[in-house]
C-alpha cells in the first residue's frame, strides 16, 4: 500500500491499531467518518461516569480492528478467508454505526422521527460506495446479510459480534466499571466456522457465560443506570419541547445544522422514495450534526423566554437532574398526578407544561440487542448445539431477554411527596 497511508493509531484499549489498507485509510479520513469523533458513544453517560467521553469514532475503529483479529484467528484454524474478504468485513464494521446522530435515541424520538440510524447507516454506505467506485460492494453485502458466507455478517451483527466485543470492553475502560471487562482474546480464539456459520468451541463455554453476564452487568451498572436514564429522559423532553416550539413557529436560537432538522426542512418521505439529490442533501446536512449542536443549543436555551424550555435546559447544563423511580410494573397514575398538581401550583405551569417535568415512561434494552439470538457451540464430538442446551446457567432469558422497566421522573424537590 501507499507508504503515506501507512499509519498507526494509538488506542488505549488495544495499544496500537495499524491502518492496513489504502481504502481503510481513505475512509478514516472521510469527513463523514471524522464526524464520529464529535459524537460520544454513550451520550450523556459522562454525567454519571466522568470518563465516558469516548466517541463513536473510537468504537468503530476498535471494532474494525477486532474484526481483523478474529479473521486472522480463523485463518489460523484453516478457515479460508481471502484478503478481499478481510478488507470488506473490516470496512463493513467500521461503517456500521456511521448513521448515528448525536444522542441518537433522544434525537430519533423527537426531531428526526422516521429516520433511524440503521437506515441512515445504509444510506451513507451506499453513497460512499458510489464515491469509491464500487469498492464497498462486498462490505455492503456483508453488512446487509446478503453475502453468501453467513459468518461475516454474524461477526458484525450477532450475539458474538465484534461490535459488542468492542463496546463492552471500551465502555468498561472509559467508565471505569471493571466488571465489564471480558476475556476478549480468549473468546476470539474460541471462534470457529462450521458450514459458514459462526460457532464457539465447547471449551470456551465458561468464557462465554462470563461474557454474557458482563454484558448484563453493564446494562444495569451503566446503560440503564438510574441517573443516566434520568439525564436521557431530560434531554428527550428538551428536544420534544424545542420541537413543539418550532412547530409553533416560535423563534429559537439554534445552530444551523440543527435548525434544518428542528424546523422540519428535510424531505418527509420514506427513505426509499428519496431522489438521488434529496438523499445527498439529507446526508450532507445530517453529517453536520453532532454533540456540539445539541449541547450548545441547550446552553443557549437555558436563557430562553419559554419557561419550560429554559427550566429543563438549566437542569441539564447544571446537572440538576430529575429524580427517577424504576420498577417492573406500571406506576399508579395517582402518584404522578399528585406530584403534577403540586408542581402546577408551585410553578404556575399548565398541565401540559408540567408533563415535561413529571412523567412516566418505559425503558427497554431492546435498542441494544436487536440481534440474532443464538450462540452456537461446537461440541467436542463435532455436533453443534445452542448454548442454552450446553450451559448450565444460560437460558434465552439471560442471553437476550428484552427487559422493560417502568420509570417515573420528577424534580428532586418532590422526592418526599
Footprint (CB under 8 A) of a second copy, residues 244-263: 253, 255-257
Binding residue (CB under 8 A) for a second copy from 141, 144, 197, 213: 213
Q: Is the torsion defined by CA of 237, 238, 241, 243 positive or negative?
A: negative
Choice from 5, 21, 26, 46 touching a second copy (CB under 8 A):
46
Closer to a second copy at the Cβ: 181 or 344? 181
- The nearer residue to a second copy, 118 or 185, going by C-beta atoms, is 185
Within 10 angstroms of residue 257's Cβ, the number of other Cβ atoms is 19
Shortest distance, position 70 Cβ to a second copy, whole Å: 14
- Does residue 404 touch a second copy according to CB under 8 A? no
The least CB distance from residue 256 to a second copy, in Å, is: 6
* Chain residues 320-349 in contact with a second copy, contact rule CB under 8 A: none
Q: Please return the burial class of 239, using the count of CB atoms within 10 Å of its CB with bins 0-12, 13-18 and 19+.
A: buried
Among 271, 274, 288, 390, binds a second copy (CB under 8 A): 288
Residue 138 vs 293, nearer CB to a second copy: 293
Residues whose CB is less than 8 angstroms from the CB of residue 409 and which lie 6 or more positions away in sequence, other chains included: 230, 233, 234, 322, 323, 324, 325, 357, 358, 359, 360, 361
Find all residues with CB under 8 Å of 359, minimum gap 6, and list them: 233, 237, 336, 408, 409, 410
Q: Which of residues 52-81 bind a second copy (CB under 8 A)?
A: 53-55, 57-58, 61, 76
- Write phi, then psi, for 196 (nearest 5 degrees): 65, 15
Q: Where does residue 201 rank: exposed (0-12), middle (13-18), buried (19+ CB within 10 A)? A: middle
**What span, in angstroms and rounded, lies between the C-alpha atoms of 182 and 168?**
8
Q: Does 413 bind a second copy (CB under 8 A)?
A: no
Segment 139-178, which members bind a second copy (CB under 8 A)?
173-178
Binding range to a second copy, per CB under 8 A, among 79-87, 103-111, 286-294, 347-355: 286-294
- At closest approach, how far in Å is the CB of 179 from a second copy? 4
Amino acid at each position: 500500500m501507499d507508504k503515506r497511508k501507512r499509519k498507526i493509531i494509538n488506542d488505549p484499549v488495544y495499544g496500537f491499531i495499524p491502518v492496513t489498507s489504502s481504502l481503510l485509510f481513505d475512509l478514516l479520513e472521510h469527513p463523514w467518518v471524522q464526524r464520529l469523533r464529535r459524537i460520544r458513544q454513550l451520550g450523556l453517560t459522562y454525567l454519571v461516569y466522568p470518563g465516558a467521553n469516548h466517541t463513536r469514532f473510537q468504537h468503530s475503529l476498535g471494532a474494525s480492528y477486532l474484526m481483523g483479529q478474529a479473521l486472522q484467528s480463523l485463518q489460523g484454524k484453516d478457515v479460508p478467508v481471502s484478503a478481499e474478504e478481510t478488507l470488506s468485513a473490516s470496512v463493513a464494521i467500521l461503517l456500521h454505526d456511521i448513521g448515528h446522530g448525536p444522542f441518537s435515541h433522544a434525537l430519533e424520538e423527537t426531531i428526526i422521527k422516521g429516520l433511524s440510524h440503521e437506515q441512515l447507516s445504509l444510506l451513507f454506505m451506499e453513497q460512499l460506495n458510489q464515491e469509491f467506485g464500487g469498492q464497498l460492494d462486498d462490505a455492503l453485502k456483508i453488512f446487509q446479510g446478503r453475502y453468501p458466507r453467513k459468518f461475516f455478517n454474524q461477526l458484525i451483527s450477532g450475539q458474538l459480534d465484534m461490535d459488542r466485543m468492542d463496546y463492552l470492553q471500551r465502555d468498561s475502560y472509559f467508565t471505569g466499571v471493571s466488571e465489564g471487562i471480558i476475556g476478549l482474546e480468549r473468546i476470539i480464539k474460541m471462534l470457529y466456522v462450521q458450514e459458514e456459520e459462526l460457532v464457539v468451541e465447547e471449551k470456551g463455554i465458561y468464557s462465554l457465560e462470563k461474557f454474557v453476564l458482563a454484558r448484563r452487568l453493564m446494562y444495569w451498572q451503566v446503560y440503564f443506570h438510574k441517573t443516566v436514564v434520568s439525564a436521557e429522559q431530560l434531554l428527550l423532553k428538551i428536544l420534544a419541547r424545542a420541537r413543539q416550539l418550532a412547530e409553533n413557529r416560535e423563534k429559537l436560537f439554534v445552530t444551523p445544522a440543527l435548525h434544518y432538522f428542528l424546523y422540519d426542512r428535510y424531505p418527509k418521505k420514506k427513505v426509499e422514495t428519496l431522489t438521488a439529490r434529496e438523499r445527498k442533501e439529507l446526508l450532507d446536512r445530517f453529517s453536520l450534526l453532532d454533540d456540539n449542536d445539541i449541547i450548545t443549543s441547550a446552553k443557549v436555551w437555558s436563557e430562553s423566554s419559554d419557561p419550560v424550555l429554559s427550566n429543563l435546559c438549566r437542569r441539564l447544563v447544571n446537572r440538576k437532574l430529575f429524580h427517577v423511580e424504576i420498577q417492573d410494573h406500571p406506576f399508579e397514575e395517582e402518584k404522578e398526578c399528585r406530584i403534577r398538581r403540586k408542581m402546577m401550583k408551585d410553578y404556575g405551569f399548565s398541565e401540559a407544561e408540567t408533563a415535561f417535568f413529571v412523567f412516566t415512561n418505559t425503558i427497554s434494552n431492546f435498542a441494544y440487542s436487536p440481534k440474532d439470538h443464538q450462540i452456537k457451540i461446537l461440541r467436542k464430538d463435532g455436533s453443534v448445539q445452542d448454548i442454552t442446551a450446553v450451559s448450565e446457567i444460560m437460558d434465552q432469558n439471560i442471553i437476550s431477554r428484552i427487559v422493560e422497566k417502568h420509570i417515573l421522573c420528577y424534580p428532586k424537590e418532590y422526592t418526599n411527596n
